[in-house]
Structure 1
Amino acid sequence: MADPRWSVGINFDSKCNARCAHCCVSSSPDATANLDDDLVDKILEELLQEPNVREIGLTGGEPLIRRARTMSIIGKITASGRIASCVTNGFWGVTPRAADRVLRDFEHAGLRELTLSYDDFHSPYIGSERIRNILNASHDRKIKVVLNMCVSRSRDSRALLAELGESVHGIQVTQFPVVPAGEARSLPDHDFHRRPITEGMLHCPGNQVIYHNDGNIYPCCSPPIFDTAMTLGRADGRTFRQAVESFERNALLGIVQREGFGWFIDAIRRVAPEAPAACVTEVVSACELCSIIFRDEASVASIRPQVDAYWAAVRAG
């Protein structure tokens, strides 16, 4: 494999105890998409045999709905010498004691980093005192805790930060704009923080192999990719090595890495000037731009001759 240090994500279940309006993976209490336990065990066993896999992250849905299962998986990851990370909404921080107990379990399992997803979208379902309990308890634990807050024009989470008060001192807080993926596609268009496309938005910010609860393997952890057909195959039909080989052989992904999204926009404009990718001028991020391009399968198919010519020139050169 070309990249000696892969980070892999397992989004094993879509079930969540919250129903957030912005949820980019459409998780909810009645969501049913999942990777069954036997398949997850098989994926995990395979990943732990790959020397090039350095980190495995767990997400959902809400992984701690199945707390014992999640802790068991984390323990297997860390026992193999890999880094384990986890994303949670923090519903379990009911009291200071409960918050510390779960953090202690994470610590004993060897978890390296815990991301709390909490913002104005989560707050109707998870009280801020629970997050405060977790943040306060984390100061006595070795786990790095990160607070991720998704924001829109109407929901900036500033009041929540004030409620959390001194508990956020020393905590990495990341605010990022909501993207139109999953449930967030139903948000008012004016609520998205779109801005003119810049040079930086024309380049993919990174890759991570994701085993998603819809049964597909994706080449990226950014939720807009889940709305496209850009997959590396089915989770129950391909090994990790085969998925990575598909990544490395994929002509479209190769051009993304070598040239960026501008190449596709220019190519599509020449053959389909009315296509969404040909007309877009403002986006939330590079990830939204990527999804605009690759959701339009007809336009991508129309530039196949240019894609083939590009790789013929690369091989000839």
Structure 2
Amino acid sequence: MTARLNHRAIVDIRRTRGRSVLLFITDRCPVGCGHCSVDSRPDSPRITDFALLESIVDRLAGIEGLEMAGISGGEPFVERRGLTRTVRQLSEAGKHVVIYTSGFWARSERAPQWIHDVLDRSAVIYLSTDAYHVAGQGPERFGHAARVIAGHEVPIVVQCIDEGDTLQRAEEALTKALGRDWSAYAELIPTHGLPHGRGADHYSFQERTQGSDFGPCDVVDATVVRYDGRVTACCNESVIMGAGPAALRADCTTGEEVEAAVRDFHADPFYRALGSVGPGALTALPRYNDLAERHYSSICGLCWAMTRRNSEAGARTDAPLLTAIAGIGRDHTGREEHTA
């Protein structure tokens, strides 16, 4: 039987470098939520090179020490062929498979067999709901999906943007779907909207923060691999789609190149330090000292400024120092929470 995980265990794995990756399996999503941070649409790009994807997954499955693979998008369940093969390959390699979905596939409680097969091999399912999802696909599919997933004894983590009465409505939906003891099957995790993609029309960063005040970054501890071979240092949706410094991305054409890029990002002393002590602490170094008193709308702004500076400086001479710094702060306090 596939091992099951809860949200806390997943966060702990994600925060230890080299233990996880996120596989961005498609840009396509049929729901069309108004707050989508990656602007996923029914006609967005999807897998075309299945040989490349299979090569990528094969290489990821073989990485020793890699324990968990998240599968996101877009909506992973629009990719029947890619999702089923990927989940089977990773689970048979002993990796924990974590899938992020809107539950759009649950038109009824009689899901197709291939979906049952995917759920059987999953360690946990992140199931999103909020007013935008309900508006895009109606309230019934969440309940259908929750019952189908719970029927496989797979833990459910419900991610819900914390605004207005959305958390209360999510609890009501869980109670309706799973009964008053819904917490035996599911966790409810509040999140916040991100000002990317269509979400830029709904959300904005509320304040600007001085560079030296930023703590460790949560999203740089696990690299992201897109279905077309793009590998990114973090799961910032804008970076995945091509924004920000080029050094945050590696565009690969083979599974071997993807594996090498994943290993390089996991081992990079600068990104290790960002995840350990954070960019604020790094502003004490001479290379970044003038960034300490500048203000940024998010931790990403400071990271991008530092990354560009690294590229301009050419060959790194401070790797040993950054490696030593990265080993200092591992309690993860003050980290900024992001969602996949």
Contact 1:128 1:164 in 2 (8 A): no
Aligned match for 2:39, one of 19, 22, 26: 26
Contact 1:210 1:221 in 2 (8 A): yes
How far 1:90 sits from its partner (Å)? 0.5
* Deviation for aligned residue 1:239: 2.6
Mapped contact 2:27–2:40 kept (Cα < 8 A): yes
CA distances 1:33-83 after superposition (whole Å, capped 9, x unpaired): 656312111101112222222222221111111224312321122122222
Selected match of 2:169 from 144, 155, 159: 159
Q: Secondary structure at the match of 2:77?
A: helix
**Pick aligned residue for 1:239 from 224, 234, 257:** 257
Q: Is 2:152 the counterpart of 1:138?
A: no
* Conservation of the 8 A alpha-carbon contact between 1:264 and 1:293: no
Deviation of 1:222 after TM superposition, in Å, equals 4.2
Per-residue deviation, 1:202: 0.9
1:56 to 69, 77, 85: 69
Please say if 1:260 is aligned against 2:278.
yes
Partner secondary structure for residue 53 of structure 1: coil
Deviations 1:282-306 (A, max 9, x none): x6xxxx41x112344796359849x
Deviations 1:15-35 (A, max 9, x none): 110222222222111212656
Q: How does 1:77-92 map to 2 (within 5 A)?
A: 77-92=90-105
Alignment CA distance shift 1:197-1:316 (3 Å):
closer
Q: Does 1:300 align with 2:309?
A: yes
Distance in 1, matches of 2:73 and 2:39, equals 10
Q: Give structure 1 stretches of 5+ with no counterpart.
A: none
Task: Provide the C-alpha distance between the structure 2 equivalents of 1:314 and 1:76, rounded to a whole number of angstroms.
Answer: 36
* Aligned match of 1:38: 51
Q: What is the TM-score when the length of structure 2 is the normalising length?
A: 0.72
What residue number does 2:5 align with?
Answer: none
Question: Structure 2 vs 1, CA of residues 248 and 28 (structure 1 numbering), >3 Å: closer, same or farther?
Answer: closer
Contact 1:113 1:145 in 2 (8 A): yes
Q: CA 1:245–1:61 in 2, change beyond 3 Å: closer, same or farther?
A: closer
Aligned residue number for residue 118 of structure 2: 106
Q: How many residues align?
A: 299
Gapped runs of 5+ residues in structure 2? 1-15, 326-340
- 1:122 alignment counterpart: 133
Distance 1:25 1:210 in 2: 14
1:218/1:231 contact within 8 Å kept: yes
RMSD of aligned C-alpha atoms? 3.7
Alpha-carbon deviations, 1:238-290, whole Å to 9, x = none?
534421442256453244245411035566885468xxx8123xx6xxxx41x
d(CA) in 2 for partners of 1:297, 1:201:
13
- Contact 2:211–2:291 (CA<8 Å) still a contact in 1? no
- Are residue 16 (structure 1) and residue 16 (structure 2) matched? no
Cα gap change, 1:155/1:187 in structure 2, threshold over 3 Å: closer, same or farther?
A: farther
**Would you say 1:209 and 2:223 are equivalent positions?**
yes
Given that 2:31 and 2:136 are in contact with CA atoms closer than 8 Å, whether structure 1 keeps it comes out as yes
Residue 20 of structure 2: aligned partner: 7
Q: Deviations over 1:112-147 (max 9, x none)?
A: 211112212212112221111222333332212211
Aligned in 2, Cα 1:132/1:258: closer, same or farther, shift over 3 Å? Answer: closer
Letter paired with 1:113? V
Which whole-Å CA distance do the structure 2 matches of 1:129 and 1:209 have between them?
Answer: 34
